[in-house]
Structures are given as structure tokens and as C-alpha cells.
Amino acid sequence: MKFLKYLFIFIPISIAFEFMHMNPILIFIASALSILPLAGLMGEATEEISYYAGPRVGGFLNATFGNATELIIAFFALKEGLFDVVKASIAGSVIGNILLVLGASLLFGGLKFKTQTFNKKAIEVSSSMLLFAVIGLVIPAIFTHTVKPELLTTRYEILSIGVAALMFLIYILGLYFSFYTHKDIYGSDHGEAHEVKWSLKKSIIVLVVATVLIALESEFLVSSVEPMTKAVGLSEFFVGIILIPIIGNAAEHSTAIIMAMKNKMDVAIEIAIGSSLQIILFVTPILIFLSLLFKPMSIVFNEFELIAMFVSVLIANRVANDGESNWLEGMQLIVVYIIIGISFLIL
């Protein structure tokens, strides 16, 4: 995505806007646009470092830093106490990865190749893990919504931390499964020949600089959310569930679509589903744990977020089920995404 590099110009622009106390809408847009190329850069640096670290450690690194941008943005929203935005952006990442990223991959891939096939086995593991993960999120929420309010005590903090710890455990076990005990089911298609671009030293410097700048821009972005939503008349939910995930996931979006158009559906689907899994099993627990530094955030999502995540995951399982895809499936996923988007937009 070469045109992305022109967006680097928005780094100084957003900094200037911030210090000139410009209109929050402009700050939001400028910092959002500057995050896009930075996220791409961070991804490249991580890949380079993974290459030097060898397949195993490298795989772990890639899996762990794949959603670093979302994590950083969410961290600043957490620090500001914008729990609704944090949770909406978690739900939005899952929904966006499945409906928009996967949908666009199936659509654009399917427009080029009539029927595309993929390694059903590996994707069934991920997609059924996704089902378990969402069910794990649904249970404490149902519980909270079902029982009488007078029974809701501070003990719910314990529930959140317990569920977060269990999610994290499954995440670690999932890595162990895919890198050790059942490595073979993931085929060799996974790791394509890697062209070395940067030295290890340069990669680390790039990673650090990109991370610092993303952190800076995320702070600008998050602090502009509240005044911007008021100025424009958008709901914070819309920003959290639609806009922030698109900004945070842009790099994955483009990679997945490019892969689908090269008929590498395994990689495209694995990016979309794997990224959703990471959000639930890795990013969410980390955020729950980090929230203990400020004010504890509960793991209870609202009904709409849960149902939207649940139906997305059902769809992912349906798509994974037959080992084949076509453009119509992609179009349907995108339409469901648009319906969700309209719902939040008109709020």
C-alpha cells in the first residue's frame, strides 16, 4: 500500500492542530489519518523482527503485536474513563474483522476467481475458538442482565477478572496448540518466502518510533472523541464501533483483501478470524487488567454488542464450514455490516 506513505504528513499536521487547539473534528481526522501509515509501519517492523527471531518466537510476536494499534488506542480511551468507547471498539473490531474485512476479501477475491477454496481444517479451529470465546463473553453479560439488580455487588469485579484470566489462558493454550502440538494442520502456505528489508537494529528502531508516535496520536484521537461527537451529533457508540476499528485495522484490511485477490484465501480468512480471536482473547483481558490501574472496567458488554458479535461469529462459522467462498457471500457480509453501521449512525 504505497500511497499510505503520503499520510505521514498528517503526523506534524495533527500535532500542530492539537497545540493550536483546533476544532476537535479536524484533530480527530488528522490523528486518524496519521495512525494509518504508522500502523502499517509497525506491522512491517514486527514482521522483520519476527523473521530474525525465527519461526516460533516470530509467530508469537506476530500473533501478539498484530493488534497493537487497537490496544494502544483502547488504552488511552480506558485512561480517559471512556469505557463505552473501549467496549464498543472491541466489539467493533470483532464485527469489522468478520463482516467488513472478511466480507471485502470474499467479495473482491470472488469477483476475480469464481469459486475460491481454503484449508477448512485450520479455519474451523479458529472459527470454533471464536464461537467459544464469544460465548465466554456472553455468559457474564447474560448473568448480569438476568439476575435481580439488588444481587449485583462489587463481586462482579471478581467475575470480570476471572473471565479475563480464563480468556487469556485460552489464548496462551491456543498459541501452544498452533505452534507446538498441532502445528502441522496449518500447512506451509502460512509462511511465504520473506524478503529481508531492514536490519534487526533498524527494525527495532522503527518499531519503537512507530509505537511512540501511535501512542501520541491515539491520545490526540481519544481526547477529541467527546467534543467531536458533540459537535457533529454522532454517538460515541458509532465512533467506537465503526470508526475506531476501521482506523485500527486498516493495515489488516488491505493485507487481507490483497491476499484474497491473489487467491490466497487461507491467509485472508486467517487474518480476519485470527484478528478477531486476538481481540477477544488477548486485547480484552489485557484491557481489563490494565483498567485495574485506573478504575476497574467490567467485562460486561451491552446486549447489542453481544448480539452483533454473536451473529458475526455464527456467520464466520457458516463461511468456514464448507471450505469454499464466492462473491455473494462477501456481499452479504458487507450488507450486514452496513445495516449495523446505519443503525448506529442514525442514533
Of 151 and 196, the one with the shorter C-beta distance to its own copies is 151
216 burial via Cβ count (<10 Å: 0-12, 13-18, 19+): buried
User: Residue 240 CB, nearest distance to its own copies (Å)?
Assistant: 14
**CA gap 90, 213 in Å, rounded:** 22
Binding part of the chain for its own copies, among 11-19, 144-152, 212-220, 287-295 by CB under 8 A, reads 144-152
**CA gap 40, 76 in Å, rounded:** 20
User: Residue 111 CB, nearest distance to its own copies (Å)?
Assistant: 9
The cell for 191 is: 509462511
117 lines the binding site for its own copies (CB under 8 A): no
Residue 298 identity (one-letter amino acid): S
Which residues lie closer than 8 Å to 29 by C-beta, 6 or more apart? Answer: none
Q: From the list 112, 202, 230, 318, which residue makes contact with its own copies (rule: CB under 8 A)?
A: 318
User: Residue 116 CB, nearest distance to its own copies (Å)?
Assistant: 12
Contact 168, 282 (CB under 8 A): yes
Contact 123, 320 (CB under 8 A): yes
Inter-axis angle of helices 265-278 and 120-146, nearest 10: 30
326 lines the binding site for its own copies (CB under 8 A): yes
300 lines the binding site for its own copies (CB under 8 A): no
**CA gap 238, 229 in Å, rounded:** 9
Query: Which of 91, 44, 14 minimizes the C-alpha distance to 211?
Result: 44
232 lines the binding site for its own copies (CB under 8 A): no
Of 295 and 318, the one with the shorter C-beta distance to its own copies is 318
Query: Which of 275, 304, 277 minimizes the C-alpha distance to 101?
Result: 275
If you ran DSSP here, which 8-state letter would residue 115 be given? S
156 lines the binding site for its own copies (CB under 8 A): yes
How many residues of this chain bind its own copies (CB under 8 A)?
Answer: 63
State the Cα angle at 19 between 15 and 21, rounded to 5°: 115
Binding part of the chain for its own copies, among 11-19, 20-28, 61-69, 176-184 by CB under 8 A, reads 176-184
**CA gap 141, 223 in Å, rounded:** 28
Write the interaction track for its own copies spanning residues 260-299; mark x where CB under 8 A is met and - where it is not: ----------------------------------------
The cell for 31 is: 490523528
Of 34 and 178, the one with the shorter C-beta distance to its own copies is 178
CB atoms within 10 A of CB 157: 16
Binding part of the chain for its own copies, among 165-173, 244-252, 254-262, 286-294 by CB under 8 A, reads 165-173
246 lines the binding site for its own copies (CB under 8 A): no
Residue 269 identity (one-letter amino acid): I
308 lines the binding site for its own copies (CB under 8 A): yes
230 lines the binding site for its own copies (CB under 8 A): no
**CA gap 293, 119 in Å, rounded:** 42
Q: From the list 121, 197, 202, 295, which residue makes contact with its own copies (rule: CB under 8 A)?
A: 121
User: Residue 243 CB, nearest distance to its own copies (Å)?
Assistant: 18
Of 165 and 208, the one with the shorter C-beta distance to its own copies is 165
Q: From the list 5, 182, 202, 262, which residue makes contact with its own copies (rule: CB under 8 A)?
A: 182
Residue 324's beta-bridge partner residues? 117
Site residues, its own copies (CB under 8 A): 114-115, 121, 124-125, 128-129, 131-132, 135-136, 138-140, 142-143, 145-147, 151, 155-156, 158-159, 162-163, 166, 169-170, 173-174, 177, 181-182, 302-304, 307-308, 311, 314-315, 317-319, 321-322, 326-329, 331-333, 335-336, 338-340, 342-343, 346-347
